[in-house]
């Protein structure tokens, strides 16, 4: 019979891998790119509310028409609409063993709604990954992305409005999650590969 060197009660026991994650940062910080990479490595779905809205806009659904009217101005889609959409997404099978939420929650109301959803599912967040970037650099990145991709909310005026809305409505969420000890800050100004590596390390040392 062998005795395992670590068990659940030993101080060296590894914490279970973090699989219920958020990635947060201003528009243009690289959340989408990094979320796709980290989610693939962990075999969890990356759930981007912006992508779900854009898919609905392309599909010309009722939700898409509503969302577009806010997105094109750089404003947030109303919480009630966004919360319902995330609730049904988190109830899907592939999200039962973890998820990486990208772009949600973005308001304090959404934080509360997410807490409620996770409590109902008997789970809780493991970690909040914060990409720290320079605001001016971000504007330049997004202007370039808009020129390449034709994303209709990547015009300089809308980008500046999105940054204001982020500072006003989303930055305060960091304090809430900091108080819970969940936030890990990563320099988002490095290369894509370096940022991914820093995110892996942040998750490993959580």
Sites of contact with ligand AMP (CB under 6 A): 27, 49-50, 53, 70-71, 74, 76-77, 82, 103-104, 106, 110, 153, 162
Q: How far, in whole angstroms, is CA 86 from its chain's centroid?
A: 12
| Strand pairing category for 20-24 and 46-48 | unpaired
Tokens 């010309």 correspond to 60
Give min distance, CB of 95 to ligand AMP, in A: 16
- Tell me if residue 68 is catalytic: no
Nearer to ligand AMP, 18 or 153 (CB): 153
- Tell me if residue 31 is catalytic: yes
Give min distance, CB of 48 to ligand AMP, in A: 6
Marked catalytic residue, from 19, 87, 145, 185: 145
- Tell me if residue 106 is catalytic: yes
Give min distance, CB of 51 to ligand AMP, in A: 7
Residue in the shown chain whose Cβ atom is closest to ligand AMP: 50
Contacts of residue 111, Cβ cutoff 8 Å, sequence gap at least 6: 105, 173, 176, 177
Nearest to 46 by CA among 23, 72, 67: 23
Nearer to ligand AMP, 51 or 206 (CB): 51
Alpha-carbon torsion angle 23, 77, 51, 108, nearest 10 = 10
Nearer to ligand AMP, 81 or 189 (CB): 81
Cα separation values, 23 from 103, 127, 130, 148, Å = 7, 9, 6, 24
């Amino acid at each position: 019979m062998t005795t395992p060197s670590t068990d659940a009660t030993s101080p060296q026991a590894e914490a279970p891998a973090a699989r219920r994650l958020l990635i947060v940062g201003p528009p243009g910080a690289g959340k989408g790119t990094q979320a796709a990479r980290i989610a693939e490595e962990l075999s969890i779905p990356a759930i981007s509310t912006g992508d779900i809205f854009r898919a609905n806009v392309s599909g010309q659904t009722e939700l898409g028409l509503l969302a577009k009217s806010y997105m094109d101005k750089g404003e947030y889609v109303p919480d009630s609409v966004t919360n319902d959409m995330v609730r049904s997404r988190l109830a899907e099978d592939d999200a039962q063993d973890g998820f990486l939420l990208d772009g949600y929650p973005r308001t304090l109301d959404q934080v509360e709604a997410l807490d409620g959803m996770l409590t109902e599912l008997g789970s809780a967040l493991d970690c909040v990954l914060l990409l720290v970037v320079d605001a001016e650099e971000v504007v330049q990145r997004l202007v370039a992305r808009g020129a390449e991709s034709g994303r209709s909310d990547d015009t300089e005026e809308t980008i500046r409005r999105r940054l204001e809305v982020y500072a006003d409505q989303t930055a305060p969420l960091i304090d809430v999650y900091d108080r819970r000890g969940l936030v890990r800050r990563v320099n988002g100004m490095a290369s894509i590969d370096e940022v991914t590596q820093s995110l892996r390390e942040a998750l490993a040392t959580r």
